[in-house]
Every structure is written in C-alpha cells, then in structure tokens.
Structure 1
Amino acid sequence: MSQVIMRDGTRVAYRDQQPPPSPAPPRTILLLHGLAGHLGEWDALTPGLLAAGFRVVSYDARGHGASTRRPSTVSRAAHVEDAAALIGELGLGRVTVLGQSMGGNTAMLLASAYPASVSSLILVEAGPGGPNPAVPTQIAAWLDSWPTPFTSVGEAESFLGHEAWARGLEQRPDGWWPRFDRNTMVATITEVTARAYWEEWSRLTSPTLVVRGGKGMLPADEAEEMLRRRPQGTRLTVIPDAGHDVHLDCPGRLLAAMKEFGPVPS
C-alpha cells in the first residue's frame, strides 16, 4: 500500500500491482470502488486481470479505507481530480477505467473531463442517473442500521452480505468498526444524486461497457437509454445472477464480459 498527497492535503492510499513478466508492455486498468467501499473489493477480480497482462491500480477514494477519513471536500470534482492526479503521479498514460456504483460515476466524469487519459471505460451498476433527493436519507438510515461495533468479522460478513465488505472494517478494543465517517458518506452521495449526468455521458469518446446486475440497482430503462444515446460507443451486458456488487457476486462473469468487450485479452 502506498499513498499520494493531493493538492488539498488529502491522503489517497493506493495499490499498484504488476503482471507477470511478458515481452509485451502491460496495459493498465484503474479500479474505482463504490460508496462506503475500499480497494480490497477488487481482490477477487485482480488475479484474472494480472493474468491477462494488466497492471492493476486500485485506490481508496477520499473519505474511505486508508485514505483521509474526513477530507476538506468530497465533491465530484475532487474525486475526479484524485483519479486524474493518480494517473499523472504514476505515469500511467492512457488507461482502462473500471468503476462500480459511485466509483462508476467518478469514472464516467473522469473519462468525460480527461478523454486523453481513458482508453476504455467499464461502468458496473452505474450510469448518468438523475435527481434523487431521497437517496442521502436512505443511505444515512442504512449506515445507522449497522449494529456497530461488530463482535467479529463473521458477524459483519453475515450482516453486510460479503466477506470483502467485512474486510473493510477496522478492529478496535471493543470490536469492528467502519473505517469511514458516516456523515462523510452522506455528504459524498449527496452530490452524486443531486442531478443527472447525461451531458457528461454525451461527451464520452472512449468505448464503454455498461454492466448491469440482473438483481442490481441500475434501472433497466436507464441502461437502455445509455445505449440509445451512444449506440456506436456503448455495449450493454446484463449478468442475471448478480446484485449491485457485480464484482463481488460474479467476478468471473464480470471478467468474461470484459474479455468479450475487448479491453481484457482472451
């Protein structure tokens, strides 16, 4: 685990994993997790990406994981600039960007604002969305429902639904707690759900794969509208057995969809 200090002083923790030696230079994929997540969520997908010859860079978004817990801002612009700064700091050049949920929103805005940095885009359970002022209150209620501290990782996994989510917790003397601040999470999602991002979607130039979980939260009509508005640059894949966390529910199916799309060699 390494870190980059952003211009506003925010510390962003990242992991940079190299593929096995090969005559061909590695391509790079940048992985962006969702709200209240952490970079370890990509652990099940990473071996397949490394085996395919990718340099895999993942990071804890500001306010998450090992990054600064309470940054001075959690604006959409700040999240996008963090991703762009990391690409520049590590000299990644043009990258494939894969983002899930909130991370997908960041990935889409990055590709829209910095087209020269993004060779292809993969959005998992993420799209332009629309104004949904009820979401911050719903997220707050969800976070308030966590029976923290959890007495064990097993209890946390049972409640949260995935082992990877439980690994995102930190152990304290009285049990296991989130590494994020509840109010920071609510503030982070507030701007994401304040408006639609169709204008940014229309400005994309990179080939884009939209992955929807059949049991997920990305509405089917929104995904179809994304395809309708960018028919030449967009592919839509539905993984029927997956929920919102496609990368955790069906990592093998997600990798297969990425290989079919093209950025991941077969």
Structure 2
Amino acid sequence: MTDSLSSRWTERVVVRDGVRLSCRDWGGSGPDVLLLHGLAGHAGEWDATALALRDAGYRVLALDQRGHGSSERRPADVSRAAYVADVVAVVRELGLHRPVLVGQSLGGHTALLTAAAHPGLPAALVLVEAGPGGSNPGVQAAIGDWFAAWPVPFPSREAAVAYLGGGKRPVGEGWADGLDTRGDGLWPRFDADVMVRALDENATRAFWDEWTAITCPTLAVLGQGEQGGIIGDEEYAEMARLRPGLYGVGVPGTGHDVHLERPDVLHALVTGFLGRPVRRAARRAFPCLGAHSNS
C-alpha cells in the first residue's frame, strides 16, 4: 500500500461480542459496497479496487475479517457463522444500506453465506474465485504446511514479494502489504493455527443448500490462466445449473488472486454488472474476457 493511498481512507472500528473488527472506509456517496478478503489476507488487498469503485460513484468499505490484519488476531470463534455475524454487525453499525458484497476466496464464501442467511441484506453478490465448494479433508493440513514453509521473518519487502507472489509481482505486492514490519524483518499479521481452524467446516462439508438459498443477483469472477483458479468446470457448471440467473466470467491469464492480478478488469466487471438491469446482467457476459455461459 502506498502512502498516497493510505491517506485516502479512514479506519472504522466495530466491536461485536468483544471482537474488534477494523474497516477501511474509503467514503463515497453512492450505493454501498463491502469488500471481503480471503484467508490470511487483509483489507489492503482491495485498495486499487476500492479507490476505483469510490471514484465510480460507490461508497466503499473493506473489512479486515476476524483473525486478520488490524482486527482481533486470536478470536475464540472462527466458525463460518461468526464471520457472517461480523458482516451483519458491520453493515448495521456503519449504516450500510443493502450493500453489494464483494468477496475473494474465503471472503467470497463469507459473502455467499451472508447472502443466504440474510436475503434482505445484500443488493448483489460478487464472488471472486469463490463458490459452495465441497468437503476437502486435506485442506487444513495443506494450508498448515504452506504457512510452516514461509521463511519468516522475511528479511526485506523484496524477499517477501518474490516469495509470496510466486513469480507474479502484483500478487506478491498485495500479500507483502499485509505483513507487519518489526526490527528483525517482516512477519504475518495472523496466526497460522487460527487460519487452519477457520477452515473446519470447509474441510467437512459443501454449502450447496446455502447457494440455492441466495436470491440476489450474483456475479462469479473466475481465474482462467495456466495455473487457473480453485473453481473447476464441474463446480461452476453445478453453480449455474442450480441458479440459472448466475452471471459468470473467466479472466484469462489470472489465477486465484484475480483482484490483485487484474484490478482494472475486476472493476470493469463489477461496475458493468451493477450498471445493467438484473435480467440482462444474468444472461450476458464480456466475450472478450472469456465468459462462462449457462444459457
């Protein structure tokens, strides 16, 4: 995050059941948008998108979800229900009116579950590399091993960018922005065991019932590069079958971190989707970006 961007948002804090939740409030006077990062991420990942959406006429906030960033680092409850309740608390406490929920990865999953449990809350839903998924018993061990392999503390920002980006500098920059600078180097602003616990439910079940309970217009943005994203063709096909109005777009040349790799494209997709009548948005795509169509 650059100094020029940090001066353009203010911190807003909501406390729910003793858990501190920190938001970046970018201001704006139009329809409300709430941005939700993924596992081990932070609100700053959305800076470019937040600024573009605000300048396009939206009021924008980005939440550091519990266990992450400037929010409570070690909350006792990291259930899916707790994350959903946090979103509801932020919406109510900060006076958001039927916000558009935009979430990436586990943040998208939180947005999905919020829309299912509180159908009157969001005006629309944007899922970036997120879906109902399926039980994945090995996900926690894999994530735990990944965190254990991080060579922390990183000796420099450049080292962190190189390691965390996997060859993609925008991704590395986004992850590095979430690190805490200490005297001996750069450290994560989360605890690995908390992140692993946050996946307890995702490891044991899918969320298709919640998916079919969603009633608001929904845009799914998928990575579509050599490495691809985490939403496979079969999962997307089932998402589209169960919700025929789903509008899905694959972004060529990207992976799981679409919001970091191509924030300009994501901005265009979101504003284009929100600016169209619902029926038209559900049926049309951006052909030049490689659309997934269910009609």
Q: TM-score range by the shorter chain?
A: over 0.9
Q: Could you tell me how far 1:73 is from its partner in structure 2?
A: 0.7
Between stretches 186-195 and 57-66, larger displacement belongs to 186-195
Corresponding residue for residue 90 of structure 1: 94
RMSD: 1.3
Q: Does residue 1:227 correspond to 2:240, yes or no?
A: yes
| Distance of 2:22 and 2:68 partners within structure 1 | 9
Corresponding residue for residue 169 of structure 2: none
From 19, 34, 46, the equivalent of 1:10 is: 19
Name the SS of the counterpart of 2:13 in structure 1: strand
| Distance of 1:254 and 1:150 partners within structure 2 | 30
Q: Deviations over 1:24-45 (max 9, x none)?
A: x510100000000000000121
The residue correspondences of 1:33-182 to structure 2 (distance < 5 A) are 33-161=37-165, 162-182=172-192
Residues 115 and 122, structure 2, Cα contact 8 Å, conserved in 1: yes
Name the SS of the counterpart of 1:190 in structure 2: coil
Q: Which runs of 4+ in 1 moved over 2 A?
A: 262-265
Corresponding residue for residue 185 of structure 1: 195
Cα–Cα, structure 1 residues 264 and 90, in superposed 2: closer, same or farther, change >3 Å? farther
Q: Does residue 1:216 correspond to 2:229, yes or no?
A: yes
Corresponding residue for residue 196 of structure 1: 206
Cα–Cα, structure 1 residues 192 and 70, in superposed 2: closer, same or farther, change >3 Å? same
Aligned residues: 258
Q: Could you tell me how far 1:219 is from its partner in structure 2?
A: 1.0
From 253, 266, 273, the equivalent of 1:261 is: 273
Question: Which residue identity is paired with 2:231?
Answer: L
Q: Could you tell me how far 1:102 is from its partner in structure 2?
A: 0.2
Q: Deviations over 1:206-252 (max 9, x none)?
A: 000011101212112211211111112x1010001111000001111
Q: Could you tell me how far 1:190 is from its partner in structure 2?
A: 2.3
Unaligned ranges ≥5, structure 1: 20-24
Residues 49 and 264, structure 1, Cα contact 8 Å, conserved in 2: no
| Distance of 2:13 and 2:270 partners within structure 1 | 28
Question: Which residue identity is paired with 1:163?
Answer: E
Residues 50 and 61, structure 2, Cα contact 8 Å, conserved in 1: no
Q: Deviations over 1:13-57 (max 9, x none)?
A: 1111112xxxxx510100000000000000121221011111101
Residues 37 and 165, structure 1, Cα contact 8 Å, conserved in 2: yes
Q: Deviations over 1:168-202 (max 9, x none)?
A: 01011211100101100110122223210000000
Over the matched positions of the two proteins, sequence identity in percent amounts to: 48
TM-score by length of 2: 0.85
Name the SS of the counterpart of 1:64 in structure 2: coil
TM-score by length of 1: 0.94
